[in-house]
Structure 1
Amino acid sequence: MALRMGKDTGSFVPGLAGERMRPAVVARAFRALPSAHREILTETVFRERSVNEAAALLGVPVDVVKVRVYHALHALHAALNGPRPTA
C-alpha cells in the first residue's frame, strides 16, 4: 500500500478526489496529526512500505496496520479540510 507524493505543483492527498495541494499545507497538516498517525503514514506512504512490511517493522498484525492507515488518512483529510458536516 504505497501512495505516491507528487513533486510538481503539489502533493496528492488521499481522499481529496485527485486534488493537488501545496506541499507546505500538507506538511503542516501532517505535523498536526497525533504521533501514531504520523508513524503509520511515514512507514506506508513516505517510506513506501507494504502493509506486511510495516506490520513486521512495528510488531503489530497486518489488520492493525490497515486500521491505523485508515484512521490516519481520515485524520489527515480532516486536518486539511475540517471535519465533515453530519446529516
Structure 2
Amino acid sequence: MALRTGKNSEPYSPGVPGDAVRPVTVARAFRALPSAHREILTETVFRERSVNEAAVRLGLSVDEVKARVYHALRALRVALDTPEPGR
C-alpha cells in the first residue's frame, strides 16, 4: 500500500524510486504519528474527502486542513524513511 498524496498523483514510496512499501511498514509509520496527523490523513487520504469536506467534518478552516495535511505528510515521510529499530 502506497500513500497517495492526491487523487491524480502517483503513489509515494520512500527510498529509491520504484521501491515498494510493505503495508505493515506504512501501518507502523502511520500509528507512530501524533493523533492530529492521523486524524487529518484519515479524513483526506483514507476516506478520500476533499479539503472542503474535511474542513466541514472537522470544524476547521480550509487553510488549516491544508496546513495539517502538509505537516502530516511530511511527518509520515520522515517516519517511513527512518529505519526501524533493530534493522
Q: TM-score range by the shorter chain?
A: 0.7 to 0.9
State the match for 2:43 in structure 1. 43
**Mapped pair 1:56 → 2:79:** no
Residue 63 of structure 1 deviates from its aligned partner by 0.3
Structure 2, unpaired ranges of 5+:
83-87
Cα displacement string for residues 7-59 of structure 1 (whole angstroms, at most 9, x for unaligned residues): xxxxx337765642000000000000000000000000000000000000000
Identical-residue share of aligned pairs (%)? 65
Structure 1, unpaired ranges of 5+:
5-11, 83-87
Distance 1:44 1:13, change over 3 A: same
State the match for 1:8 in structure 2. none
Distance 1:62 1:76, change over 3 A: same
TM-score normalised by length of structure 1: 0.75
What does 1:1-87 align with in structure 2 at a 5 Å threshold?
A: 2-3=6-7, 12-13=11-12, 19-82=19-82
Equivalent residues, number: 75
TM-score normalised by length of structure 2: 0.75
